[in-house]
C-alpha cells in the first residue's frame, strides 16, 4: 500500500501501532523516566525523577509548506520555530530548547541561512526558547526541521498536567482563541494576484508568516480546569476531528459563531467562512470544557475566546457544521493531509 492510499493520519496510526513494541523496551530506562503521552497528540510527554517534559518536532519543505518565492527567509525562520512552540502551547507547557536541522542545496546563500536563524532567534526571544544545536545536510530541496522540548505544567502537588486531545466529554463547549482563516487568506495573497487593501494584505500575510502561538493561554487553561485542547495547525475541521477521534465522540459547530476577522471577510467575502473552517496554520488554540469553566476562561484573558459549538455522542466521530437554521453545511476541503492531497490548504466555498 502506498502512503497516498493510507493518508497522513492513517499512516500515523500505523506507526503508532508499530511503536507499541517499545513498551517492552521501556523497562530499560527503569525508574528514571516514564512516557506519559506518546505519538498521537501535539507533543510527547515524559516524566523523570526531576520533572515532566514535552517534546515535539515539525518540518517545512519548500514548495509544500511554503512558496519558493515571495517569502523572506527571516519570516520562514520565525514560522518554523513558532509552529513547534504552538505544539507546546497546545499541551499547556513552557517551551525551552530547540534543535534545528537544515537540508540545503549546495548553492544556497549563506546570508539566507543567517536570515533564517534571525527569524528563529526572534521567536526565541519572545518565548524564551534557546537554540541548542542541530544538523546541516545537503539536499536538492530546502527543508527545515525543528525539534523542540519544553517543561510540562504541574499541579500544586507536583504532578504533571497536560492538555490533551482525548479529554473531551459529552456536553463540553468547543471554544477557540483569536480568529480563524487568516493564515489561509495570507497564503492566497502570496500565491494569487488578488487585490486587497494595504492593511488587509499586511494583516493576512503576517498571520501566514508570523504566527504568535498563545503559550500563556495554554498554561492558564490548565490552571482554570480545562483538560482538552489542540492547536489549529491543520484547520478547524481537521483538528477538531482529531479531538473527536481521540475522545470517541463527535462535534457540532455553528458556522455563524466561528470568529472571522474583518480583513478576511472583506478580502474574500465568498470564501472567508470556508477558509475559517478548513484553512490551516492559524496556530490558535481549540479547547473543550464545561460551560461554566469556559465562561470563567473568557472573562480572564485579553485574547478573544469564542464558543463555537459542543461535543456530542457520535459513533462516527464526525464534525458537523450547521447554519443558523440548523442545516448541515459541507465543505470541499476538510483540512490538511500530507499524503491525500495538498490543495486542502486553500479552502474553497461552502456547499449545502
Residue by residue, what is the 3-state secondary structure of the chain? CCHHHHCHHHHHHHHHHHHHHHHHCHHHHHHHEEEEECECECCEEEEECCCEEEEEEEEEEECCCECCCCCCHHHHHHHHHHHHHHHHHHCCCEEEEEEEEEEECCCCCHHHHHHHHHHHHHHHHHHCCEEEEEEEEECCCCEEEEEEEEECEECCCCCEECCEHHHCCCCCEEEEECCCCHHHHHHHHHHCCCCCCHHHHHHHHHHHHCCCCCHHHHHHHHHHCCCEEEECCCCHHHHHHHHHHHHCCEEEEEHHHCCCCHHHHHHCCCCHHHHHHHCCCCCCEEEEECHHHHHHHHCCCCCCEEEEEEEECCCCCCEEEECCCCCEEECCCCCCECCCECHHHCCCCCEC
Q: What is the pLDDT of residues 61-115, one digit of tens each?
A: 887 777 777 789 999 999 999 999 999 999 999 999 999 998 888 888 888 888 9
What pLDDT shows up at residue 177?
98
pLDDT value at residue 246: 96
Q: Quote the pLDDT of residue 211.
A: 97
Nearest to 170 by CA among 45, 316, 290: 290
Question: What pLDDT is recorded for position 78?
Answer: 96
- Interatomic CA distance for residues 77 and 251, integer angstroms: 35
Sequence ranges of the chain with CATH classification 3.90.650.10: 165-345
* C-alpha grid cell, residue 337: 493531509
| pLDDT score of 343 | 41
Going by C-alpha positions, the residue among 107, 185, 189, 113 that lies closest to residue 144 is 113
Domain 3-161 belongs in CATH node 3.30.1330.10: yes
Where in the chain is CATH 3.30.1330.10? 3-161
Per-residue confidence (pLDDT) for residue 172, from 0 to 100: 98
pTM (two decimals): 0.84
Q: What is the tens place of the pLDDT at every residue in 189-219?
A: 998 888 899 999 999 999 999 999 999 999 9
CATH class of 165-345: alpha beta
Q: Which residues of the chain have pLDDT under 70?
A: 2-4, 8, 11-12, 15-35, 39, 332-352
Amino acid at each position: 500500500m502506498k502512503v497516498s492510499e493510507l493518508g497522513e493520519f492513517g499512516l500515523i496510526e500505523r506507526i503508532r501501532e508499530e511503536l507499541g513494541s517499545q513498551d517492552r523496551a521501556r523497562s530499560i530506562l527503569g525508574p528514571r523516566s516514564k512516557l506519559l503521552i506518546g505519538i498521537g497528540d501535539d507533543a510527547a510527554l515524559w516524566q523523570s525523577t526531576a520533572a515532566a517534559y514535552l517534546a515535539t518536532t515539525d518540518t517545512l519543505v519548500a514548495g509544500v509548506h511554503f512558496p519558493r518565492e515571495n517569502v523572506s527567509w527571516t519570516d520562514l525562520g520565525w514560522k518554523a520555530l513558532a509552529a513547534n512552540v504552538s505544539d507546546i502551547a497546545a499541551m499547556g507547557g513552557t517551551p525551552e530548547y530547540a534543535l534545528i536541522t537544515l537540508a540545503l542545496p549546495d548553492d544556497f546563500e549563506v546570508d539566507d541561512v543567517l536570515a533564517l536563524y534571525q527569524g528563529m532567534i526572534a521567536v526565541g526571544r519572545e518565548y524564551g526558547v534557546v537554540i541548542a544545536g542541530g544538523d546541516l545536510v545537503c539536499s536538492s530541496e530546502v527543508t527545515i526541521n525543528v525539534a523542540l522540548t519544553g517543561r510540562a505544567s504541574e499541579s500544586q502537588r507536583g504532578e504533571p498536567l497536560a492538555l490533551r486531545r482525548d479529554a473531551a466529554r459529552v456536553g463540553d463547549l468547543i471554544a477557540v482563541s483569536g480568529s480563524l482563516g487568516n493564515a489561509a487568506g495570507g497564503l492566497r495573497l502570496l500565491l494569487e494576484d488578488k487585490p486587497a487593501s494595504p492593511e488587509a494584505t499586511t494583516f493576512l500575510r503576517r498571520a501566514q508568516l508570523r504566527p504568535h502561538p498563545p503559550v500563556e493561554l495554554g498554561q492558564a487553561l490548565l490552571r482554570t480546569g480545562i483538560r482538552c485542547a489542540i492547536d489549529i495547525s491543520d484547520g478547524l475541521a481537521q483538528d477538531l476531528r482529531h479531538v473527536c477521534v481521540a475522545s470517541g465522540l463527535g462535534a457540532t459547530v455553528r458556522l455563524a459563531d466561528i470568529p472571522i476577522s474583518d480583513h478576511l471577510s472583506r478580502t474574500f467575502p465568498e470564501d472567508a467562512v470556508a477558509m475559517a473552517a478548513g484553512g490551516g496554520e492559524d496556530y490558535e488554540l481549540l479547547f473543550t470544557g464545561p460551560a461554566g469553566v469556559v465562561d470563567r476562561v473568557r472573562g480572564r484573558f485579553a485574547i478573544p475566546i469564542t464558543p463555537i459549538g459542543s461535543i456530542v455522542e457520535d459513533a462516527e466521530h464526525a464534525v458537523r457544521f450547521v447554519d443558523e437554521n440548523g442545516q448541515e453545511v459541507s465543505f470541499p476541503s476538510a483540512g490538511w493531509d500530507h499524503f491525500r492531497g495538498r490543495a486542502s490548504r486553500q479552502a474553497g466555498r461552502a456547499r449545502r
